[in-house]
Amino acid sequence: VLFRSVNAYEAMIVERLAGEKGDAEVVVLAQASMAGAAAEAERRLGLPVLTSPRLGVGAAIAAWRKARG
């Protein structure tokens, strides 16, 4: 599926998540290209949404701090 805009792509992600929510307690968007949909997904689903860019940066900062002592 090709999208004419980033907004359409992100809206499709949120719609799909809403349809698949079930009894989930958290959503993980593991592709960086999906990160832009996180805020709207959190609002619509009422669930925390984690993204790989946010998690990756957090892990990098933690490793850097640990290496510094």
CB 45 within 8 A of CB 17: yes
Whole-structure pTM value: 0.74
Task: Express each pLDDT in 7-54 by its tens digit.
Answer: 999 999 999 999 999 999 999 998 989 999 999 999 999 999 999 888
Angle at alpha carbon of residue 28, lines to 22 and 33, rounded to 5°: 120
Q: HSE on the CB side for 66, CA within 13 Å?
A: 6
The model's confidence at residue 1, banded by pLDDT at 50, 70 and 90, is: low
Q: Which two tokens stand for residue 38?
A: 């996180």
